């Protein structure tokens, strides 16, 4: 043991003695290195000073922008500013100019995002141009600017926004042209204190899958499907008040009281009522008779990702106690059930809709002999399957097939002496085609539609649509 | 409004439930993601050109910003993971959200802080957000239609949020993975 | 605005007067005098004032009898007039009811002639239409407007007239005459007896009464585009704005009616009443495609009439409807044979205009040998239905 201690002492002593020698040998080196480090440090200090100056300038500008565009998304703005400053201070290794440019880019991004979220006005819109060619009658081929829509959404503050949508149909609107210009939506939405959302104005009725989601990029096929145009009269909007909210397990509910239909507008001599019963008597907020209001309710469950199950009901009288009108007791009811499932690349949907108009006996008696009396019931359903087949860059090709069956006059109220109109068979339409999405907002479509009953309507369709 | 365990939520499903649009703060989110953490340290990131290129290659999306707000969660000295804060645009409005990453850059949790659109609020549903858990940028499954289901009627919000999570997962893979 | 002021002024003035002067009150239930404006009240008096004619025995009401839906009381093809009430007329008298919605004459966007008063749409307003009967040699036969005003000055209600239009109004014959026709127009527009809308059909439209089986069948045949197709020109449906149907779309049609030899003027083979293109109306003389077209009249109160169409060719609805559906399947029933034995269709038109006749629309689109659009039993049903268009229906 004693020997060990002695050995260690000698070893340590030797080490100590040799150290200064070692040190002495690289003292010059060390000094040189220290000088170099000192110089580098001075450089870094200067760079840091410069970058901090730049950051201060940008920060000041950022504050100005934030002040001008005001309030809400303080979280993101503050974070962005904090990021900018913290980035400047943290990057001792970055070159000052590099930092400055990237901070500027970041500020620009933050500003763009701030613009979106603060109070402000957003312009959006959509359009579709369609070509239809009946296969058995080329002379009836037609190209039409089906719709051009501009939507302006203005957010007053965190809780209040105004939604408006203006539409032009068929290219040219004038007294001697066939186009139409209309207000499709015009309402205020306010988030209430308990998280519910209230609406007042002209808004879309939450019925079916298409009505509230009707941009050309949102559905398959050039033309909107028949069930949701002939039975559910998309684009269906009414004036009134609405309340909606969602629950924790994925259920969204939507209810309200609005204007309804005007059965006094029914024209038994024209075919409009046969094309779409409710479409021929809708009021759309145009000097709308409002003695009889209607209520609606919709439930949509999205508890399982990729699955939507839902339904809606709408009901209101349509006579408005009009003087000398035989159907003041008539009530219009429309209900629908729908489902949509999108596992992987598939997009499957199904919908059933049924409408009823009650108390039409006396009115239909006055229409005897005319081709289009008021139906008692009208209904339709469809199933559709689409598959995202190819995705290359921002091109996405999705072929689809849809089968729909509908009847705009499934039954009539009793007319004596057999003077009523016979009901006809359901029309059955098969549509096969594809949507080619270009990026997020543009879609090119092509499809072929085959009609079981009226074969003269078989047609090829091509379309272009966009939404932004 | 606090996020409650699913059981409690089902119980009060009958009551007027609602999520307000300003729904979680960043502090609340980090607590939810890392309940065991004792300290949270801001560890903001700044990407250089090479890193941004890598991220773009991995996620299929541009890296978009140089600077990212990242918070490291620590239990004592041990790193539990990171939380990355970000904003994306839904259809018209901003969605603020946070992605919790494990140290191996797999997704731990996704929380939505602010959602103001009228439609598509279902992205806040636990069931929908759970789809992201355990996935990584390299492993895939972070694209709508390829691992993440769409929400009917809110395709844009879904897609943009999913893209955002995928981008953050890629950032995690390139910048944070140990 | 001026109307309103003058009405207000008139009512204020009249408030001071005692009731109206004595006048031959119309037989049909008239509104209490006080509900009409001052001008309309005068119009009511002028309407029935026979002293305003050359004969002293003819007023508007003579041919447009208030208790015959303001239409003719007999089955004469054209009513006689003139100083001795023996000058023959040219056209059958129409009903004056339901004129208030008739627009002034115009060509619609697709070129269809529409509107105007008189059987050829010649007059642009009820006031304008009222002018000619005073002055026509075959009607009230006054020599001039001055002549009419001179008679007016002797009427019992002249004080009322002067009170409304000014004391010096009768000094200017032009002005006074125009005020007279204006007063007549006001009467026709305001008085509810010109548009009562109280027929069985109106009550049926309101859901208050039911039609009989035959009437309902008749309505169905009336509306059916493949059967009677009557509603194509005589619309039977309420307007989208709730307006009651007038059973006329104010358009014109050329039916190719047979020449009515009971009208003395037809004795001259060169005489043709061509409606829109003349001879009464002169502004469309160069529109040869319109020759032979006459105004679609209202069918309200048609069942009260005994003379139908512009030339009074038929005296019963059965004949009129029979003509519609068998004109082309059985022309021999309606038209005379020429010297060579061939039936001369559309003989009330010169040969060059016979191509204008409507042969395209149901029910005129038949050929000999085809079944007519309506059978005899169906015609009876339609006649039953037309009976529901008579005003003054009381639910039993």
State the pLDDT at residue B20.
Answer: 54
Spatial separation of the C-alpha atoms in residues A274 and A411, rounded to whole Å:
12
What band does B123 get if pLDDT is binned at 50, 70 and 90?
A: confident
A117 touches chain B (CB under 8 A): yes
Provide the residue ranges of all domains of chain C, joining segments of one domain with +.
Answer: 2-194, 197-396
Contact between A228 and A349 (Cβ < 8 Å):
no
* Contact at CB, B13 and A116, closer than 8 angstroms: no
Spatial separation of the C-alpha atoms in residues A237 and A229, rounded to whole Å:
13
What band does B63 get if pLDDT is binned at 50, 70 and 90?
A: confident
Contacts of B18 in chain A (CB under 8 A): 194-196, 245-247
What band does A65 get if pLDDT is binned at 50, 70 and 90?
A: low
| Digit-coded pLDDT (tens) for C369-381 | 899 999 999 999 9
Q: What is the mean pLDDT of chain B?
A: 84
**How many A/B residue pairs have CB atoms within 8 Å?**
153
Same fold, C2-194 and C197-396: yes
* Contact at CB, A369 and C240, closer than 8 angstroms: no
Distance from the A326 Cα atom to the nearest Cα atom in chain C, whole angstroms:
4
Distance from the B93 Cα atom to the nearest Cα atom in chain A, whole angstroms:
6
* Contact at CB, A365 and C204, closer than 8 angstroms: yes
Contacts of C207 in chain A (CB under 8 A): 325-328, 362-363
Contacts of A153 in chain B (CB under 8 A): 92
When mean pLDDT is compared across A91-100, A444-453, C39-48, the lowest value belongs to A91-100
State the pLDDT at residue C301.
Answer: 96
Contacts of A99 in chain B (CB under 8 A): 46
| Digit-coded pLDDT (tens) for C133-176 | 999 999 999 999 999 999 999 999 999 999 999 999 999 999 99
Domain spanning A126-467, CATH architecture: Beta Barrel (2.40)
**Burial state string for C254-277 with b = 16 or more CB within 10 A and e = fewer than 16:** bbbbbbbebbeebeeeeebbbbbb
State the pLDDT at residue B101.
Answer: 93
A72 touches chain C (CB under 8 A): no
Average pLDDT over residues C301-315: 95
| Digit-coded pLDDT (tens) for A384-415 | 999 999 989 889 999 999 999 999 999 999 99
What band does A382 get if pLDDT is binned at 50, 70 and 90?
A: very high
State the pLDDT at residue C131.
Answer: 95
Does residue C201 have a pLDDT over 60?
Answer: yes
Range of the domain at B82: 24-176
State the pLDDT at residue B10.
Answer: 39
Average pLDDT over residues A327-356: 95
Contacts of A343 in chain B (CB under 8 A): 149
- The interface predicted TM-score of the complex, written ipTM, equals 0.82
Distance from the B119 Cα atom to the nearest Cα atom in chain A, whole angstroms:
10
* Contact at CB, A265 and C240, closer than 8 angstroms: yes
Does residue B12 have a pLDDT over 80?
Answer: no
| Digit-coded pLDDT (tens) for C216-261 | 999 999 999 999 999 999 999 998 888 999 999 999 999 999 999 9
State the pLDDT at residue A83.
Answer: 44
DSSP label at residue C78: S
Average pLDDT over residues C319-327: 95
* Contact at CB, A90 and B44, closer than 8 angstroms: yes
Average pLDDT over residues B170-174: 91
Kindly give the pairing relationship between strand A197-204 and strand A180-191: antiparallel
Distance from the A314 Cα atom to the nearest Cα atom in chain C, whole angstroms:
24
- Reference C310, options C282, C343, C348; nearest CA is C348
A366 touches chain C (CB under 8 A): yes
Contact between C184 and C47 (Cβ < 8 Å):
yes
Contacts of B29 in chain A (CB under 8 A): none
Average pLDDT over residues A159-177: 93
State the pLDDT at residue A41.
Answer: 80
Distance from the A307 Cα atom to the nearest Cα atom in chain B, whole angstroms:
7
State the pLDDT at residue A26.
Answer: 67
Contacts of A325 in chain C (CB under 8 A): 206-207, 238, 242
Kindly give the pairing relationship between strand B147-148 and strand B143-144: parallel
State the pLDDT at residue A224.
Answer: 96
* Burial (CB count <10 Å: 0-12, 13-18, 19+), residue A136: exposed
List, in sequence order, the alpha helices (H) in chain B.
6-11, 26-33, 49-59, 126-129, 155-171
| Digit-coded pLDDT (tens) for C106-130 | 999 899 999 999 999 999 999 999 9
A283 touches chain C (CB under 8 A): no
Q: Do chains C and B touch (3 or more CB pairs under 8 A)?
A: no
A344 touches chain B (CB under 8 A): yes
* Contact at CB, C207 and A363, closer than 8 angstroms: yes
E strand intervals along A247-305: 251-259, 293-301
Q: Is there a domain that residue B73 lies in?
A: yes
State the pLDDT at residue B175.
Answer: 86
State the pLDDT at residue A17.
Answer: 55
Spatial separation of the C-alpha atoms in residues B91 and B116, rounded to whole Å:
10
* Contact at CB, A362 and C207, closer than 8 angstroms: yes
- Reference C214, options C233, C235, C203, C200; nearest CA is C200
CA A230 to centroid of chain Cα atoms: 22
The tally of domains found in chain B comes to 1
* Contact at CB, A367 and C224, closer than 8 angstroms: no
The fraction of chain A above a pLDDT of 90, given in percent, is: 68
What contacts A452, CB < 8 A, 6 or more positions away?
Answer: A427, A428, A429, A430
* Contact at CB, B145 and A340, closer than 8 angstroms: no
- Reference A66, options A55, A54, A80, A77; nearest CA is A77
**Which of A282, A327, A366, A367 has the highest number of chain C CBs within 10 A, making it the mutation to test binding with C?**
A366
Does residue C274 have a pLDDT over 70?
Answer: yes
* Contact at CB, A267 and C213, closer than 8 angstroms: no
Does residue C27 have a pLDDT over 60?
Answer: no
The fraction of chain C above a pLDDT of 70, given in percent, is: 91
State the pLDDT at residue A452.
Answer: 96
Q: Does domain C2-194 have CATH number 1.10.760.10?
A: yes
Residue of A nearest to B129 (CA): A305
* Contact at CB, A106 and B66, closer than 8 angstroms: yes
Does residue C24 have a pLDDT over 50?
Answer: no
**Burial state string for A348-378 with b = 16 or more CB within 10 A and e = fewer than 16:** bbbbbbbbbbbbbbbbbbbbbbbbbbbbbbb
Q: Is there a domain that residue B139 lies in?
A: yes
Cα–Cα separations (whole angstroms), residue B72 to A340, B45, C258: 40, 11, 104
State the pLDDT at residue B9.
Answer: 35
**Pick from A267, A326, A416: CB nearest C206:** A326
Which residues between 254 and 293 in chain A have a beta carbon less than 8 angstroms from any beta carbon of chain B? none
The fraction of chain A above a pLDDT of 70, given in percent, is: 81
Kindly give the pairing relationship between strand C113-114 and strand C106-107: antiparallel
Q: Do chains A and C touch (3 or more CB pairs under 8 A)?
A: yes
Domain C197-396: CATH class, spelled out: mainly alpha
Cα–Cα separations (whole angstroms), residue C361 to A368, C203, C230, C275: 20, 30, 10, 20
DSSP label at residue C242: -
| Digit-coded pLDDT (tens) for A85-117 | 444 444 444 444 444 444 444 444 444 444 444
Does residue A72 have a pLDDT over 50?
Answer: no
Greatest alpha-carbon span in chain B: 52
* Contact at CB, C238 and A417, closer than 8 angstroms: no
């Amino acid at each position: 043991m004693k020997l060990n201690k002695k050995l260690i002492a000698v070893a340590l002593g030797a080490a100590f003695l040799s150290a200064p020698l070692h040190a002495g040998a690289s003292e010059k080196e060390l000094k040189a290195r220290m000088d170099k480090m000192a110089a580098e440090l001075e450089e870094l200090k200067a760079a840091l000073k410069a970058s901090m100056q730049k950051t201060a300038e940008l920060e000041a500008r950022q504050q100005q922008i934030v002040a001008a565009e005001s309030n809400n998304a303080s979280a993101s703005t503050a974070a962005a500013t904090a990021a900018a400053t913290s980035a400047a201070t943290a990057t001792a290794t970055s070159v000052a100019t590099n930092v400055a440019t990237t901070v500027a880019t970041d500020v620009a991004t933050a500003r763009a995002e701030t613009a979106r979220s603060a109070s402000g006005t957003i312009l959006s819109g959509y359009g579709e141009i369609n070509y239809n060619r009946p296969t058995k009658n080329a002379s009836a081929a037609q190209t039409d600017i089906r719709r051009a829509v501009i939507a302006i959404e203005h957010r007053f503050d965190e809780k209040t926004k105004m939604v408006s949508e203006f539409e032009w149909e068929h290219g040219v609107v004038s007294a001697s042209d066939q186009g139409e210009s209309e207000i499709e939506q015009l309402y205020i939405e306010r988030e209430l204190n308990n998280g519910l959302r209230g609406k007042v104005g002209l808004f879309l009725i939450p019925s079916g899958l298409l009505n509230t989601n009707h941009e050309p990029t949102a559905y398959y096929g050039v033309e909107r499907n028949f069930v949701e145009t002939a039975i559910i009269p998309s684009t269906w909007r009414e004036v009134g008040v609405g309340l909606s909210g969602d629950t924790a397990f994925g259920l969204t509910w939507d209810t309200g009281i609005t204007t309804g239909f005007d059965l006094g507008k029914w024209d038994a001599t024209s075919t409009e009522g046969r094309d779409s019963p409710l479409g021929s008597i809708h009021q759309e907020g145009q000097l709308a008779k409002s003695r009889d209001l209607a209520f609606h309710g919709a439930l949509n469950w999205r508890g399982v990702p990729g699955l939507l199950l839902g339904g809606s009901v709408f009901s209101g009288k349509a006579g408005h106690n009009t003087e000398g009108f035989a159907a003041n007791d008539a009530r219009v009811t429309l209900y629908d059930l729908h489902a949509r499932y999108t596992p992987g690349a598939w997009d499957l949907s199904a919908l059933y809709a049924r409408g009823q108009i009650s108390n039409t006996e006396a009115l239909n008696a006055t229409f005897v002999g005319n081709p289009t009396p008021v139906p008692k019931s009208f209904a339709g359903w469809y199933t559709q399957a689409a598959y995202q087949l190819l995705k290359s860059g921002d091109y996405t090709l999705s072929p689809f097939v849809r089968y729909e069956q509908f009847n705009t006059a499934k039954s009539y109220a009793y007319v004596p002496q057999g003077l009523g109109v016979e009901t006809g068979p359901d029309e059955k339409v098969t549509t096969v085609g594809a949507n080619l999405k270009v990026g997020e907002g543009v879609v090119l479509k092509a499809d072929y539609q085959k009609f079981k009953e009226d074969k003269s309507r078989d047609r090829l369709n091509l379309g272009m649509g966009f939404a932004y | 409004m606090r996020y409650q365990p699913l059981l409690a939520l089902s119980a009060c499903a009958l009551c007027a439930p609602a999520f307000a649009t300003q729904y979680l703060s960043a502090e609340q989110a980090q607590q939810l993601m890392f309940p065991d953490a004792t300290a949270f340290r801001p560890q903001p990131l700044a990407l250089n050109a090479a890193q941004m290129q890598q991220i773009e290659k991995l996620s299929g999306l541009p890296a978009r910003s140089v600077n990212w707000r990242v918070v490291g969660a620590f239990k004592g000295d041990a790193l539990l993971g990171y939380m990355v804060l970000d904003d994306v645009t839904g259809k018209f409005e901003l969605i603020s959200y946070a992605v919790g990453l494990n140290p191996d850059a797999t997704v731990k949790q996704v929380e939505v802080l602010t959602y103001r659109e009228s439609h598509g609020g279902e992205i806040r549903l636990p069931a929908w957000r759970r789809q992201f858990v355990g996935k990584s940028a390299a492993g895939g499954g972070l694209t709508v239609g390829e691992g993440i289901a769409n929400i009917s009627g809110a395709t844009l919000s879904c897609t943009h949020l999913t893209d955002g999570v995928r981008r953050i997962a890629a950032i995690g893979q390139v910048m944070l993975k140990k | 605005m001026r109307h309103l002021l003058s009405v207000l002024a008139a009512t204020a003035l009249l408030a001071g007067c005692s009731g109206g002067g004595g006048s031959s009150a119309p037989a049909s239930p008239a509104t209490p005098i006080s509900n009409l404006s001052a001008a309309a009240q005068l119009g009511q008096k002028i309407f029935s004032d026979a002293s305003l004619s050359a004969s002293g025995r003819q007023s508007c009401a003579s041919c447009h009898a208030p208790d015959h839906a303001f239409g003719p009381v007999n089955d004469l093809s054209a009513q006689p007039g003139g100083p001795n009430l023996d000058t023959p007329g040219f056209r059958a008298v129409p009903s004056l009811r339901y004129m208030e919605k008739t627009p002034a004459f115009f060509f619609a966007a697709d070129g269809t002639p529409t509107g105007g008063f008189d059987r050829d749409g010649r007059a642009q307003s009820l006031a304008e239409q009222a002018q000619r009967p005073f002055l026509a040699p075959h009607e009230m036969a006054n020599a001039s407007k001055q002549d009419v005003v001179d008679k007016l000055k002797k009427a019992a209600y002249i004080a009322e007239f002067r009170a409304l239009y000014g004391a010096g109004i009768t000094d200017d014959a032009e002005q006074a005459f125009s005020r007279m026709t204006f007063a007549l127009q006001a009467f026709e527009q305001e008085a509810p007896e010109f548009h009562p809308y109280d027929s069985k059909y109106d009550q049926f439209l309101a859901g208050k009464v039911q039609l009989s089986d035959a009437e309902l069948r008749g309505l169905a045949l009336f509306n059916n585009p493949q059967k009677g197709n009557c509603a194509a020109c005589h619309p039977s449906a309420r307007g989208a704005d709730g307006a009651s149907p007038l059973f006329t779309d104010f358009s014109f049609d050329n039916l190719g009616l047979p020449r009515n030899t009971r009208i003395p003027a037809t004795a001259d083979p060169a005489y043709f009443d061509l409606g829109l293109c003349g001879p009464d109306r002169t502004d469309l003389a160069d529109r040869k495609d319109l020759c032979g077209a006459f105004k679609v009249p209202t069918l309200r109160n048609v069942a009260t009439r005994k003379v139908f169409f512009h030339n009074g060719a038929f005296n019963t609805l059965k004949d009129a409807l029979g003509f519609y559906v068998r004109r082309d399947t059985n022309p021999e029933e309606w038209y005379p044979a020429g010297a060579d034995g061939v039936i001369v269709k559309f003989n009330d038109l010169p040969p060059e205009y016979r191509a204008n006749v409507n042969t395209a629309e149901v029910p005129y689109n038949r050929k000999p040998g085809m079944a007519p659009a309506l059978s005899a039993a169906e015609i009876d049903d339609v006649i039953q239905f037309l009976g529901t268009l008579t005003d003054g229906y009381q639910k039993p």
